[in-house]
Chains A and B, each alone.
Chain A
Amino acid sequence: MKYEFTPERMKEFQKVKAKYERPRSALLPALYLAQEQWKFLSDEAIQYVAGLLEMPAREVFEAVSFYTMFRKKDMGKYCLQVCNNITCTLMGSEALLDLLHKELDVGLSETTKDGMFSILSVQCLGSCGTAPVVQINENYYENMNCDRLKITLQQLRGTT
């Protein structure tokens, strides 16, 4: 598979790149686009972005490793991010994590064998009023409890 932006993404990238004096200033937007396209930033993706921005691959990877939201490996179809900060913990997020570990049989930052789910323990999602919160891909699932989480998992499986 040749690593290249789709034409739409390339257009988007060129638009961003034009805003800056030096191509390397468009690093983060370029990485967002890359993650959008390939779901995670593999070595080939990083080399491609480095080429586009005339930067050494090492420097691109320095930025990728800095931010936890840049996925460095395949996080499956649904990335289940459970908030572990104070409000969510007080409202029972640890039980949610235990449930996920048991149901899916994977550890933190790992992906299930069928490539469907991965579990992450993340920092505050900024929705403490509806704690506990689980973010699945880009969506917030608020006011979660074990039952609702079980149903959600079933729903997600069902939509494969």
Chain B
Amino acid sequence: MKTVTLTINGQAVTVNEGTTVFQAAQAAGVFVPHYCYHPDLSIAGVCRMCMVEIEKVPRPQISCNTVATEGMVVRTDTPKIKDTVKGVLELHLINHPLDCPICDKAGECKLQDFYQSYGLYTSRMEHEKVHKPKVQDIGTIVLDSERCILCTRCVRFTDEVTHSNELGIFNRGDRSELRTYDEGPLKNDYTGNLADICPVGALTAKDFRFQQRVWFLDKTKSVCTMCAHGCNTAVSINSSTKKLYRVEPRRNPEVNQSWICDTGRWGIHSLTENRVATPLKNAGGFLDATWNQAFSEMKRAITEAPEKTLVFLSTAMTNEEVVDVCQVMFALGVKNFSWLVDEAVVSETQPFDGILKHHDLSANARGTAEILKRLGLTNLGMKAGIDKVKTQPLSQVVAVGLDAAQGPLWVEVAAVIPTTTQSFVHATNHHPSFEAAKWVLPNTTSFEKTGTIVSALARVQKVNRILPAQGLARDSHALAWGISRGDDRSVPSKERAKTIFESSIQSWFCPGEKFSQFNEMGVAL
């Protein structure tokens, strides 16, 4: 690939041919203020903030749409450019309402940030500002047309990413108004991203509206586990109250660009809604019990008849959890293993909507299958597994590591379990199909555990713990530990996960990666 070398602020930088001056500046580590540029959208050149001075060119040029050429000398720090940027910012702010106290974007607003860095002028606006409709409910997003600076990021998003063409800028001049074309709610599955890409508070998420000020939140990097794609996320919590407020996408060009679907973004509610809070024993109705009782019963039942035990491994578990459970069960003599997943869709490697979504709602089907192979265990598969439950007289069936999406899969198994077989179900959220189970045990969600998963794109990524376990929930590491010992002495799951990672997963899937400093972008299998 041909390259060009140009000088930005005295620093020489070499880039591929065809790169814009803006991208070259990024590569050189020089920050150029901008609103309408977005790495995952087409170039618009409407905001005029990225002005730079190019030698031998009389007027300042926008760097986002100027192709870098050999020998170009670019400056972003001359007095003329500083004045230009200040002037452009002033123009953007002329009709901008004084909404900072009531705007959710405060603290992460590009107008605020750039005003502090490039503005700091005295306003000359003495007239009545132009008024436009405020607080318009367009489904999952709240639109405030007055705050819009007409960068067209959202218009390009609904055009190029979701192809739904719902947003547009109508009329002209200072009457220009951002609106949905049909004045109705947004109908695509990626509306949350609009609130992310909007540099100001014109498009804000209804879910997060007025919940918290962003400067009280801390972000933790993790991965979404609501489907097999494994979009990279940054989860915001208030560390003092330990409350989870929102999930945002993290940019990963190989996996999810800068996007995440609405299901993954707002799936945090399954963290608290309808959770299994304590171990429940079914004795004519579900009664609260203790983990001690659960573990001793499970250990006894399995050691009495390991050949009459079938373990269903949920594909929502991390790699380390799968290894842990399999090793413990195998050591107790269990030979019947099956994964619990929707087999009709598990082999989908590409998103079915062409963007991000997969039909497989579990995060680690590939990892689970691969691990069973590596451990030399036969994966019976759902069909054979369910057949075995139906026909062979089993003593118990153990379902480990279910999350909210696997509940519906248990319906098939529950339908054929004979009354002589008892079932132990380890799940995060309640599901009607658990009603005949002997024991329902609380599991932790992916926000409450650390471990690696393998996505449908054959990528190993790390899920990081964000919150402590809710209620008495224990993850599958603790479950495996408890079953092997028969009692309730707690185990530090992160250390257990690290040990297992270093002893097996690392060499199998991602040699060279360290558990604590795992590559934030994930690694290919």
Contact = CB atoms under 8 A, between A and B. Distances in A.
A65 B171 contact: yes
B328 to A, nearest CB: 56
B504 interface: no
Contact of A56 (B165, B169, B170, B172): B165
B262 interface: no
B171 to A, nearest CB: 5
Greatest chain B CB density within 10 A among A57, A58, A61, A62 is at: A58
B171 A57 contact: no
Nearest to B177: A65
Nearest to B167: A58
A61 B181 contact: yes
Interface string A42-62: 000000000000001111011
A66 B169 CA distance: 9
A59 B181 CA distance: 9
Contacts of A61: 168, 170, 181
Nearest to A65: B170
Nearest to B169: A62
B166 interface: yes
Contact of A66 (B166, B167, B172, B181): B172
Contacts of B168: 58-59, 61-62
Contacts of A57: 165, 181
B513 interface: no
Contacts of B165: 56-59
Contacts of B167: 58
Contacts of A59: 165, 168
Contacts of B171: 65-66
Contacts of A66: 170-172
Nearest to A57: B181
Contacts of A58: 165-168, 181
Contacts of B169: 62
A74 B238 CA distance: 55
B189 interface: no
Contacts of A62: 168-170
Interface string A64-80: 01100000000000000
A2 B167 CA distance: 27
A8 B304 CA distance: 88
Interface string B54-91: 00000000000000000000000000000000000000
B448 interface: no
Contacts of B181: 57-58, 61
B487 interface: no
B132 to A, nearest CB: 14
B393 to A, nearest CB: 62
Interface of A: 56-59, 61-62, 65-66
13 contacts: A56-B159, A58-B167, A58-B168, A58-B181, A59-B165, A59-B168, A61-B181, A62-B169, A62-B170, A65-B170, A65-B171, A66-B170, A66-B171
Interface of B: 159, 165-172, 181
Q: List the 10 closest A-B pairs by CB distance, nearest first.
A: A56-B165, A65-B170, A58-B181, A58-B168, A58-B165, A62-B168, A66-B172, A65-B171, A62-B170, A61-B181
Given A56-B159, A57-B165, A58-B166, 8 more contacts: A56-B165, A58-B168, A58-B181, A62-B168, A62-B169, A65-B170, A65-B172, A66-B170
